[in-house]
Structure 1
Amino acid sequence: MHTENPGNPVPTTPPSSQDLHHVKDSEHPGYETTDVNVGGVIVFLGGLMGFVVVFFLFCFLMGKVINTAFEKEDGKTDQWHKSNSMFAGAAANGGKRDNLASTTEMQQKELAQMTTSFPNPRLDTDDGNQATYELHAKEDLLLDHYSKTPGQDGVRIPIERAMELIAEKGLPVAPAVQTTQLAEDATPKVAAPLTTGFARTGYELETIETREQKMNFNTAKSEEK
């Protein structure tokens, strides 16, 4: 029989935190003593859904108010503004709007409507850029290429060739006439012009550059073949 020596007690170790965690008593039974508050969860989800519904209703009503304000600001539609109105598509389709069209398509529709509504001549819609470009392009064709006028003899030659011929042959010199100048008179001096005839717009320069790039690309592509 083993007996402990009272003079030499056996040391004891304190219980670890893991042992204390597994201790089961009335305060720590080892499981949840309360159930999930199902009612609180349902109330929270219901409130969240109600907030979402109220938010979308608010946005819908706000959109209606804004659209109504725009319609009142634009005034009543007439024969000039009916097709250009932002609500014309919805009015024609029973309250449903048309699909959004591209900018080019909208410009073509507006141009077609303007052409049928207003007689010629009309004001330029592009600040005259296209008209100026077409005018200068016609002038370039006459100045830089050979051409012939129907019903007239002779052929027009390019202006560069005409300048070369004049430089080779020279201009006819009129006989000098001796004139007596007054004291305050001065002989005018003719200077060469600073431009080639007309100043090109930025739109023309961009169009000419784009055309040259296309021509260079086509030339390089044909050389590769």
Structure 2
Amino acid sequence: MSRHQLLQLAIPLIKTHGFSREALARSVLYLPKPHEQPLSDAAVNSLFGNGDDARRTLITGWLDHAREDMRTVPVTGAAPASLKDVLARRLKANEEVLPLLPEAFALLASPTYGLPPLDPMPGLKHVSKVADDACYIIGDTSVGPAWFRRRAAIAAAYGAAELHQLTSPNTAYQFLDDVLNLTNKVDSSVSEVELFGKYIWRSWAGIIRSSGVLP
């Protein structure tokens, strides 16, 4: 029984138990040789972190799992998957837990100790990892400054689409199409990418606050 194994078993429980310590505690009930009782609080603390740190561990594990799912996009022949299909697959992973994401993002963005301001780094790391994995999957061959610009543009595009999904899920995929059509323009200018990134952070923070999770 490893920490990683239990984390993977907890991920399917998020849909019913949320990004909670309970989901982590109940993971042992789904082992090949199930435990009779969920993990104790002390065991959850030891394996995954104290208090909300355990929830942060689960959220991060789910984000990693959702990025891995991008690799399952069907392809035809030897051609790699398209960027649109890969990012759409990542958006699809959000659907089962969409109502839970504002609170999850708020928890990632909130400091472990003390009061807000919110920390933008978890959100930026999230979309950057999506972009980096997407580029790998589609076989992007950019090098040098173009490598950074390409990933920054994709991160900005995906971040905008995910924010749109949180507020208007029915039009998220069309929005993704539209924003990807702007990617070449954004990709051409580091300053535009930076502005787009600031827009994403302000929007993300606004959604978190409007959810009522944080003041």
Bigger RCO of structures 1 and 2 (CA < 8 A, at least 6 apart): 2
- Regarding TM over 0.5, the answer is no
Give the structure with higher Rg (CA): 1
Specify which structure has the higher proportion of helix.
2
- TM (normalized to structure 2)? 0.21
